[in-house]
A and B are shown apart, each in its own frame.
Chain A
């Protein structure tokens, strides 16, 4: 591709902007710190200083979904909103960057980080790795992170300021994060949760934590890929209508 330089430049711009944003940088460390803290705290309840499976399930669930949701919905969304607020998005778009290059450049680092940090969470949680199917975890992580990043792009299109992006991003995050977590308490929520990509993630980590074999079912695959396609389509429709920024 002759235009890799442009893609690389956008990704680098995004990287420089995000790495200067304290809230964004601290976020992943907080998630990892939280998982680590809980592990230390609750280990004392389990046999020989090990976490009870139910605790491990909660910990993984919370850590992984939080990581996926914050990085995508919030990090990607606010980064675009920031560019609108500071009037640099238009500058990029009038410097020969295409919509596609901006899209990929914007989600590249957040996506890679989300996947990497998911593995970090797994490691920090101290789960017995023999209970984990790494390829499946990797695959599900990758798709879930991608969906979350695309939703972040939609948040970015809708928002005009960073404040705005948070206002749109947080409710989404609460739905996608809390429904699977609360799914343990209510049958209704559990059913809805099955249709959310974060719900699929939760099911997977539950199985790992409980030492059960996780078999990814057709419905789960349909949910993951279906939501990826839906979010892409929503993004495309919105992009076609007004571009990244309404005039």
Chain B
């Protein structure tokens, strides 16, 4: 295995009794990379994370994490990876500080690191507060702080911002980008295409247990942007969408000359529309 491949899945599949939840999943993760699994509910995102992090056994295929086959990993692997599952809990009766300090003991992390992480997630002033009294976003920040306390090589996040308000989500995004800067590899799942576009270096579109498309958000958008279109708002409040044809371009030029255009956008497809084109389904249809 190449030195800089932290995680490698080859031909992973998972069957729950009768249901085939994952089919032939292949991917790689490198240091400093944020990789997103984007897919609607039930696509198999959580199943994928659970398999990689050793909480669930795959039916077939091979997963290598930090050079070790996932069949041979033991508890010590968690000293080098961080896991935030879709329902990671905190000890609500303990203080914020205690919540982190317990895990600092498990990982033999110095006190100064706890303080550092608390500052990073902006919870320093709440460190003596009972964790159960934190707001939802603060709790999620605490969960994140705990997951990176031991500076893991790879961080796994299952829907890290689902259910959070946009402002808090943005704070979390900023944190993740900072961690990426430090060289941490991040594997996250989401059904939010804006999040995927903004954060991820590479996205795998997951649909019914299959990776139907893979690439950087930009690549994917451009790939499916074959018919160029423009969305134009004219002075008379009329909004129109025009395809790229010589005739339309002339029309647009004419409006512009007459200064009748209020705004004009090129319509590149978003990941949402890429997903729609590939699967015929919208991302958020549940």
**B240 interface residue (CB < 8 Å to A):** no
Q: Are A94 and B83 in contact (CB-based, < 8 A)?
A: yes
Question: Given the complex of chains A and B, what is the CA–CA distance between A94 and B73 in angstroms?
Answer: 12
Q: Which residues of chain B are near A96, meaning CB under 8 Å?
A: 75-79, 106-107
Contact of A91 with B88 at beta-carbon distance under 8 Å, contacts A9-B106, A97-B106 already known: yes
Whether the Cβ atoms of B106 and A87 lie closer than 8 Å is: no
**Which residues of B sit under 8 angstroms from A90, Cβ to Cβ?**
55, 85, 88-89
Q: 8 closest A-B pairs (Cβ-Cβ)?
A: A87-B89, A96-B78, A9-B105, A20-B93, A88-B89, A94-B83, A86-B89, A98-B75
A98–B76 alpha-carbon span in the complex (Å): 9
B168 at the binding interface (Cβ < 8 Å) = no
A197 → chain B closest CB, angstroms = 32
Whether A16 lies near B91 (C-beta < 8 A) is yes
A95 interface hit (Cβ, 8 Å): yes
**Most B-side CB within 10 Å, residue of A20, A94, A247:** A94
In the complex, A88→B77 CA distance in Å? 19
Q: Which residues of B contact A13 (CB under 8 A)?
A: 91, 102
Choose from B79, B88, B93 the contact partner of A87 (Cβ within 8 Å): B88
- Besides the contacts A17-B94, A90-B88, what 4 more A-B pairs have beta carbons closer than 8 Å? A9-B102, A16-B93, A93-B55, A96-B107
B119 CB within 8 Å of chain A: no
A101 to chain B, nearest CB (A): 8
Q: Is the CB of A247 within 8 A of B91?
A: no
Given contacts A16-B94, A96-B79, A247 and B50 within 8 Å (CB-CB): yes
Given known A5-B108, A17-B91, A247-B50, contact A94–B98 (CB-CB < 8 A): no
Tell me the A5-32 residues at the B interface (CB within 8 Å): 5-6, 8-9, 12-13, 16-17, 20-21
Which of B's residues lie within 8 Å of A, judged by CB? 50, 53, 55-56, 74-79, 83, 85, 87-94, 98, 102-103, 105-108, 146
Identify which of A12, A16, A91, A93 contacts B89 (C-beta below 8 A).
A91
A8-B91 in contact given A94-B83, A94-B85, A98-B75 (Cβ < 8 Å)? no
Tell me the bound Cα distance from A20 to B93 in angstroms.
Answer: 7
Please provide the chain A residues from 50 to 99 with a CB less than 8 Å away from any CB of chain B in the complex: 86-88, 90-91, 93-98
B55, B76, B102, B108: which contacts A12 (Cβ < 8 A)? B102
Provide the residues of chain A in CB contact with B105, threshold 8 Å.
Answer: 5-6, 8-9, 12
For B83, the chain A residues whose CB sits under 8 A away are 91, 94-95
Q: Is the CB of B106 within 8 A of A94?
A: no
Contact with B along A94-132 (1 / 0, CB 8 A): 111110000000000000000000000000000000000
17 CB < 8 A contacts A-B: A6-B105, A9-B105, A12-B102, A13-B102, A16-B93, A16-B98, A17-B94, A86-B90, A86-B92, A91-B83, A91-B88, A94-B55, A95-B107, A96-B75, A97-B75, A97-B106, A247-B55
> Across the interface, which residues of A come within 8 angstroms of B98, CB to CB?
16
Query: Complex Cα distance A71/B85, Å?
Result: 32
Q: How far is the CA of A95 from the CA of B78 in the complex (A)?
A: 5
